[in-house]
Structure 1
Amino acid sequence: MVLAYSYLNTVDYQDSSDFKKAKELLTHWMGVDASLTSQGYTLVELLSHLKVDIETQVAGFLLPAAEKGVIDYRVTTRKLGLVITRLLQGSEHFLALNHYLYNKKSPEQVEKFRKMLLAIVEDPRVVLIGLANHLCLLRQAKNDTESVHQQLGQETLDIFAPLANRLGIWQLKWELEDFALRYLNPKAYKDLAGKLKARRSDREQYVAQVIGQIEQTLAQANIQGKVSGRPKHLYSIWKKMQAKHLDFEQLFDIHAFRIIVQDTKSCYAALSLVHNLWTPITEEFDDYIARPKANGYRSLHTAVRDHLGKSVEIQIRSLEMHQESELGVASHWRYKEGSKSDSSFEQRIIWLRSFLEKKEEGEENLNHHVLDQLKTKVFDYRVYVFTPTGQVIDLPEGSTPLDFAYTIHTEVGHRCRGAKINGVIAPLTQKLISGQQIEILTARESTPSRDWLNPKLGYLYTTQARAKIQHWFKLQDQPIYIDQGRVLLEQTRHRNKLNEVDLKPLLKKFHHQSEDNLLAAIGYGDISINQLNTAIKEQITKVELIKSSPSRSSMPYKKSLDQYSIQATGISDISARRAGCCQPIVKDSIIGYITKNNGVAAHRTNCINIIKLSLERQKRLIDVSWVQRKK
């Protein structure tokens, strides 16, 4: 405990008065559990490396005590201010939801859960506190049981490591992933760590040699730069071995070298020097300066083969890019004291709530997708709530408990008679907020209310729920709608002076299986009067065509088709073939149509295909006539 206080007192804070007050509060509460202050100092140390503001560090310092329920928020607000209280409350909510809900869920549920965790965050600094706190838990769990390790490891890979990755906080991401490997696959972790340790002297000698060569080359070109080398972290090496089915001995690029120069121009100059020094591997080059990653990451990535044939990965970036890379979004989360609004910070919040839409690192068009999110703010128009069993439900912003009920299941919605929000009875018209737990109260024989469809009463927001209720009422009133449909059909038939209507083509046209369903759809208004009128007129046209077509078997002047040909009128060298649709016979009134690929086709003048020709296609009609063949 003395060492923890000594550490805190040696840090040069911009405003140490907040920490003095926080220490006074914890001194008062220390009697409950002295270990809480030690945990708080560990969190402060992690957060200070991320260069976050003093308020975030104070909130981290107090978080272990808050999670144990020994913090009085009235006291923290009075002594430290409302901002720190809200950071503490937000962090508690963030972590409590995770501990309560996460339990090896399906990939779809894990994705929704990630989104909900961010949707409840009003201040993005809460995410940093949550990440740092989880890393502390991993460090402290080294001696726990295998089941605890499995739970923590999977939770880390599913939730916390992806969050750190999207935020670009690499120093947390690497340690989180290595702990996950250590707990989920301890044998692979120990084996890999042992092999890396056994080759340490060779690796150190090789790293020093490569660094020396690069530094000498930069100096000769008068480029100021700092070169460093490090082994890749264990999880990334293991992941590469799994993906490419390689043994450890087959890996050469287990080191990553970094060149930090003054500006962007020097980045490209250094790249040219490296490519001249060794043989570049073209397919391994990525320009994240010209095309930054979605999280703002900028750097040049290249790989080369040295004179021994070993592949070497090298990153080249400016000092500014390096600071952004190491601290990620955290470097932008420094509030100006007394400022009410920071537009760039607000944009970061929007981005923070958008980046999880693409969850795979390196996914194509990720940057384009995030830019679209910045423009449309789609993510901000969703709420994420959960069932009593912990299932996350994704709904549009503005949804009510009744919308939630119909999303769970149509029958749950139909039988809904009330709802509880976070265990408290709430009206069905109350708007839902991300992070709430919703429980629907149902009755065995209950049915929907017509009031639910009244938009002025505010029971429903989603069109899906409204459609389900409307469909239910349609089924209950189907006999009435069938009668209404029959009347409308009869009126339309009478208006068109048709003796009877053939329902078979109407069933086919409107995709219904039975006459009752067709009539009910007409009665509902799903089939409009205009649609019905058009369909009946098509029947009239076909009847008239059949009546006007002479009976081919009884034509007194029927001639053998072999005695006649069809030619364009006035043009002796252009003949025509009979169209397959209407198959005109000798003495039928005919007209020619110039097809695209099969010459001229002769149709009867009353052929339905000719009658329906568009104005544009009518330009391709020509006169044709029957011509008796010469004997």
Structure 2
Amino acid sequence: MVKNTYFTPAERSDFLESYRSLSRSSRSLIGEKDFLRIRKLIAHAIESGNYLHDKNGINVLLRNMNTALILSKEVGLERSTLIAVLLYHVVQCDSLSLEDIKKEFGTDITKIINGLIKANSLYAKQEIVESENFRKLLLTFAEDVRVIIIMIADRLCLMRMINHHPNERYRMDVASEASYLYAPLAHRLGLYRIKSELEDLSLKYTNREVFTQIAHKLKETKRARDKYIEEFIAPVKKKLEEAGLTFEIKGRTKSIFSIWNKMKKQKADLEDIYDLFAIRVVLDTPEEQEKADCWKVYSIVTDMYQPNPQRLKDWLSIPKSNGYESLHITVFGPGNRWVEVQIRSKRMDEIAERGLAAHWKYKGLKGESGLDDWLNNVRDILESANNGPMELMKEFKMDLYDKEVFVFTPKGDLYKLPKGATVLDFAFLIHTGLGSKCVGARVNGKNQTIKYELRSGDTIEVLTAPSQSPKQDWLNIVTTSKARVKIKQALNEAQFKEAEFGKELLQRRFKNRKIEVDESILMRLIKKMGYKTVTDFYYALAQENLDVNTVLDNYLDLDRKEKENEDFSELRTAENFVPQLYDEDASKEDVLVIDQNLKGVEYKLSKCCNPIYGDEIFGFVSTQGSIKIHRIDCPNAFSMRSRFGYRVVKARWSGKQGSQYATVLRVVGHDDIGIVTNITSIISKEKNVSMRNISIESDDGLFQGHITVMVDDLSSLNSLIKKLKTVKGVKNVERTQ
């Protein structure tokens, strides 16, 4: 199909296998004529020298081919989506225009390609999307759900390709974003298999030691686990066959990521986690008979094994909003072990594995109203201009993984909300006007406050009052992103009106005292008085939290001082010049470069890992907006990257070295006479190294000491550690922080 020089031998082998597989699975869907036309267009782009490897050395054609294969086999999307995946890079590299695509393949494919180009353009400068571009990325996703699905499949493809990529930082960045953005999106769209693989690969690249350890233990225990599953399944299988059901029953080991999560939550070793696997019963039954047969299986299994009623999850009666339908039970199996059993039909199983795409197959796109509601909610959030990217991401993620509660209106209409939602959330879900005037509700016939936490099955009648309006503390009551956005919009509008009044008040006072206002001086005064925004300043005036006469006096004082300084600067000579000394914070600006070559950004070195000059580092944006610098191997690094990856920014040391840095060394050795003296002697002799603190504990002939030292950089620290290890009696020296 393409020139031999375009591929390495390994890439060529992989490409040919993927191409043949895609041809077999999709040629009938795409059509013979279009398939050959696409092949020629791609070949022409390569021969023209346009279809190149990307900046990280990834073969783009191979990536697009494997993405199309994932969509074809694991998602099962329609013709337009597959053609768009194969052709979008041909347009992106300017081998074809969008107009050409429109003429050849129609408007639907052009729309998807345009969405993909817009989304991928946000990755043009760096491997992970910048926080300020996050709104644009989500907006592109919200325009066409197929763009989300393609990007999820593309991220899975990339994650598979970078296992042996030489740039570890690139792997880390790609894996972190897969964990905090693409895996939750896959979950929301019901693509559970893809979600699990994204999470597993993310753990593998960001914490390979933990991943390998769990994978190794799972491999070691596989035989015993398979034996137990067979022992559990055998009698169930016999009873189901006797009941005349057509089914498939199998055991499925849970993903490494979910096992690791359980180990963290339960603070337990792998051997102590009981639900390493689940038994799945998949029924081959007509759609109208599905629920009855699932409950029949439930009855058979619970007759044989004691169920745990608190662990019953019924998604048959009311499916999840992403379309997931299944019946989950946990029973007491052989050997006194709890075992999870999942019961579903073949149709339900396909929806569980393929998510939204299977809904298209069974119901058509309009059948998934839950997704439409979610996308509309995303658009509402994006249209709220007052949200910063960090706040936006927090609110966006809030609804992704949450469990749901199901409540009713007095007329019997059913609504789904995330677990923990309140009466106030429900009121805003029905209508913004209703939420803004809400004073409480009648829940199941009883009066409840706006703080009441909803429970599945509740019937809710919202109570309102004309005088009611949104309050600041409402933000602590609601949990849904829609309610938070609407409350913030209302509060901002109210604050803006008050601020306008405060501005008019100040302007009148200036006019009365015949003062000509210099806006630049006023802005400097506002900043000096500690107000983050002009609106906050004028709002404080309107609320009488700030006295207008005080502002006038401060303005006149600042104006006078600035004029005096201007007069003085005109009289200065070289003879009078005194060089300005930089303080410690100022010198720090030259030592670190944050994100895209930014200097002069406020930051602090994190106490949890005490980075020093020369360490591999990254920045983490706190909720207050300040930046903390962490080491790449910080104990909290994985948690920050996986949970709050959108707040991680690049950081590196610049060429200029800063002041000294504190770090803690843990020294373990034999409790010999003079060993402490020898250790402190070495430290005192080291150039530009000083000891700040030392604490020693002795127990049964062994001592353990923690020594805080000040060093210039990483090489000085490594040199010191090397020398300390030569001290007689010292068994180990390591950096703890």
TM range (shorter): 0.5 to 0.7
Distance change in 2, residues 1:61/1:207 (3 Å): farther
Q: Which amino acid aligns with 1:87?
A: I
Corresponding residue for 1:8?
22
Distance between the aligned counterparts of 1:358 and 1:115, measured in 2?
A: 19
Q: Which amino acid aligns with 1:10?
A: R
Which of 212, 217, 226 is the equivalent residue of 1:195? 217
Matched, 1:123 2:144: yes
Distance between the aligned counterparts of 2:543 and 2:86, measured in 1?
A: 66
Distance between the aligned counterparts of 2:16 and 2:205, measured in 1?
A: 32
Q: Indicate if the aligned counterparts of 2:316 and 2:327 stay in contact, CA closer than 8 A.
A: yes
Corresponding residue for 2:115?
90
- Mapping of 1:294-333 within 5 angstroms? 294-333=321-360
Could you list the per-position Cα deviations for residues 499-520 of structure 1 after superposition, in whole angstroms to 9, with x for gaps in the alignment? xxxxxxxxxxx98689989xxx
Could you list the per-position Cα deviations for residues 451-483 of structure 1 after superposition, in whole angstroms to 9, with x for gaps in the alignment? xxxxxxxxxx9665555444323211137799x
Distance between the aligned counterparts of 2:247 and 2:92, measured in 1?
A: 46
Distance between the aligned counterparts of 2:260 and 2:337, measured in 1?
A: 19
Distance between the aligned counterparts of 1:82 and 1:155, measured in 2?
A: 31
Q: Indicate if the aligned counterparts of 2:323 and 2:359 stay in contact, CA closer than 8 A.
A: no
* Equivalent position SS for 1:252: coil
- Mapping of 1:351-390 within 5 angstroms? 351-354=374-377, 356=396, 358-359=398-399, 361-363=401-403, 365=405, 368-369=416-417
Which of 16, 20, 40 is the equivalent residue of 1:24? 40
Distance between the aligned counterparts of 2:237 and 2:90, measured in 1?
A: 49
Q: Indicate if the aligned counterparts of 2:112 and 2:147 stay in contact, CA closer than 8 A.
A: yes
Distance between the aligned counterparts of 1:165 and 1:89, measured in 2?
A: 25
Corresponding residue for 2:723?
none
- Mapping of 1:447-486 within 5 angstroms? 464-465=495-496, 467-478=498-509
Which of 299, 307, 311 is the equivalent residue of 1:272? 299
Corresponding residue for 1:560?
none
* Equivalent position SS for 1:291: coil
* Equivalent position SS for 2:154: helix
- Mapping of 1:534-573 within 5 angstroms? none
- Mapping of 1:281-296 within 5 angstroms? 281-296=308-323
Q: Which amino acid aligns with 1:48?
A: S
Q: Which amino acid aligns with 1:139?
A: R
Q: Indicate if the aligned counterparts of 1:354 and 1:374 stay in contact, CA closer than 8 A.
A: no
Q: Which amino acid aligns with 1:137?
A: L
* Equivalent position SS for 2:279: strand
Matched, 1:204 2:226: yes
Could you list the per-position Cα deviations for residues 164-206 of structure 1 after superposition, in whole angstroms to 9, with x for gaps in the alignment? 0111111210110001110111000011111111122222222
Greater Cα shift, 253-262 or 155-164: 253-262
Distance between the aligned counterparts of 1:97 and 1:196, measured in 2?
A: 39
| Alpha-carbon distance, 1:138 to partner | 0.7
Corresponding residue for 1:416?
none
Distance change in 2, residues 1:114/1:139 (3 Å): farther
- Mapping of 1:107-146 within 5 angstroms? 113=134, 117-118=138-139, 121-144=142-165, 145-146=167-168
Distance between the aligned counterparts of 2:546 and 2:201, measured in 1?
A: 63
Distance between the aligned counterparts of 1:159 and 1:2, measured in 2?
A: 31
Which of 60, 70, 78 is the equivalent residue of 1:46? 70
Distance change in 2, residues 1:321/1:360 (3 Å): same
Distance between the aligned counterparts of 1:236 and 1:374, measured in 2?
A: 32
* Equivalent position SS for 1:91: helix
Distance between the aligned counterparts of 1:374 and 1:78, measured in 2?
A: 43
Corresponding residue for 1:224?
246
Q: Indicate if the aligned counterparts of 2:41 and 2:90 stay in contact, CA closer than 8 A.
A: no
| Alpha-carbon distance, 1:234 to partner | 0.6
TM-score scaled by length of structure 2:
0.49
Q: Which amino acid aligns with 2:79?
A: I
Structure 2 gap segments, 5+ residues each: 1-14, 53-58, 379-395, 407-414, 419-424, 434-491, 514-541, 550-737
Distance between the aligned counterparts of 1:224 and 1:329, measured in 2?
A: 26
Distance change in 2, residues 1:375/1:57 (3 Å): farther
Distance between the aligned counterparts of 1:282 and 1:321, measured in 2?
A: 23
Q: Indicate if the aligned counterparts of 2:324 and 2:352 stay in contact, CA closer than 8 A.
A: yes
* Equivalent position SS for 1:315: strand
| Alpha-carbon distance, 1:143 to partner | 1.3
* Equivalent position SS for 1:365: strand
| Alpha-carbon distance, 1:100 to partner | 5.5
Matched, 1:148 2:154: no
Structure 1 gap segments, 5+ residues each: 379-460, 483-509, 518-631
Q: Which amino acid aligns with 2:405?
A: N
Q: Which amino acid aligns with 1:138?
A: M
Q: Indicate if the aligned counterparts of 1:73 and 1:85 stay in contact, CA closer than 8 A.
A: yes
Q: Indicate if the aligned counterparts of 1:168 and 1:295 stay in contact, CA closer than 8 A.
A: yes
Distance between the aligned counterparts of 1:377 and 1:143, measured in 2?
A: 51
* Equivalent position SS for 1:230: strand
Q: Indicate if the aligned counterparts of 1:51 and 1:330 stay in contact, CA closer than 8 A.
A: yes
Distance change in 2, residues 1:360/1:334 (3 Å): closer
Could you list the per-position Cα deviations for residues 385-438 of structure 1 after superposition, in whole angstroms to 9, with x for gaps in the alignment? xxxxxxxxxxxxxxxxxxxxxxxxxxxxxxxxxxxxxxxxxxxxxxxxxxxxxx
Distance between the aligned counterparts of 1:114 and 1:232, measured in 2?
A: 34
Distance between the aligned counterparts of 1:514 and 1:14, measured in 2?
A: 69
Q: Indicate if the aligned counterparts of 1:350 and 1:377 stay in contact, CA closer than 8 A.
A: no
* Equivalent position SS for 1:187: helix
Greater C-alpha Rg: 1
Q: Which amino acid aligns with 2:506?
A: L
| Alpha-carbon distance, 1:2 to partner | 4.1
Distance between the aligned counterparts of 1:256 and 1:162, measured in 2?
A: 22
* Equivalent position SS for 1:308: helix
Distance between the aligned counterparts of 1:149 and 1:511, measured in 2?
A: 52
| Alpha-carbon distance, 1:95 to partner | 3.2
Distance change in 2, residues 1:515/1:309 (3 Å): closer
Greater Cα shift, 276-285 or 25-34: 25-34
* Equivalent position SS for 1:354: helix
Corresponding residue for 1:168?
190
Distance change in 2, residues 1:473/1:514 (3 Å): closer
Q: Indicate if the aligned counterparts of 2:188 and 2:400 stay in contact, CA closer than 8 A.
A: no
Distance between the aligned counterparts of 2:215 and 2:316, measured in 1?
A: 33
- Mapping of 1:472-551 within 5 angstroms? 472-478=503-509
| Alpha-carbon distance, 1:62 to partner | 2.3
